[in-house]
Chain A
Amino acid sequence: DSGVTQTPKHLITATGQRVTLRCSPRSGDLSVYWYQQSLDQGLQFLIQYYNGEERAKGNILERFSAQQFPDLHSELNLSSLELGDSALYFCASSVVGGLEQFFGPGTRLTVL
């Protein structure tokens, strides 16, 4: 158990809908990263937040957005969902200045 928690574990929704995925980092970690894992694209970095501020951006679509709250939990919002957005979404966290990223158990999103 990495100490990173993600909810929900599974999410099934329809095309065009909007969903919110939630992540709580390990105690004391200020950085939160979001990744998408799919069969065709593999594991891809989406976005990083550090202490409430966006720190780095990867291959995140404009339909996706994220934020980190004062209690350091983070939410990833996915809107206008398409079939191709079906994937596993992972959150990871790291300590201040740390390189090691510790991953949560993921949320499996299915878009029908």
Chain B
Amino acid sequence: GENVEQHPSTLSVQEGDSAVIKCTYSDSASNYFPWYKQELGKGPQLIIDIRSNVGEKKDQRIAVTLNKTAKHFSLHITETQPEDSAVYFCAASRGGGADGLTFGKGTHLIIQP
């Protein structure tokens, strides 16, 4: 089955700086890669996703890049703000509407004021 590795497990950055979280996947048939943000006591919130026919996607301060050949994808957050502090999860699936998500172990992002 699919295996998703996520690094780092903890990331501390100064407010205003950029943060990058990286994930690798093992199943070459995976073609959908979402990123979720989870705040304490809440469910995961979808923040951005990318499909395998696209190399990069951007939404305001967040962007995701995908390298299918190397089987890795990354989340980039620019101009970090205190409200960006949370746990971020990457995930992968084969899509097709009949597949659960395989998640990475998560990255605890800490924004230092």
Contact = CB atoms under 8 A, between A and B. Distances in A.
Contacts of A99: 32, 34, 49, 51, 93, 95, 97
Interface residues on A, range: 20 to 34
Interface string A1-45: 010100000000000000000000000000101010000001111
A93 B45 CA distance: 12
B96 to A, nearest CB: 9
A7 B20 CA distance: 35
B29 to A, nearest CB: 14
Contacts of B100: 33, 35, 45-48, 56, 58
Contacts, number: 65
Contact of A56 (B34, B99, B103): B99
Contact of A43 (B32, B44, B51): B44
A57 to B, nearest CB: 8
Contact of B49 (A43, A48, A97, A100): A100
A56 B99 CA distance: 6
B49 A105 contact: no
Interface string A41-63: 01111111010000110100000
Interface of B: 32, 34, 36, 42-46, 49, 51, 89, 91, 93, 95, 97-106
Q: Top 7 nearest A-B pairs by Cβ distance?
A: A45-B100, A103-B43, A43-B103, A103-B44, A99-B32, A58-B100, A55-B98
8 contacts: A42-B104, A42-B106, A43-B91, A46-B100, A48-B100, A55-B97, A99-B51, A101-B34
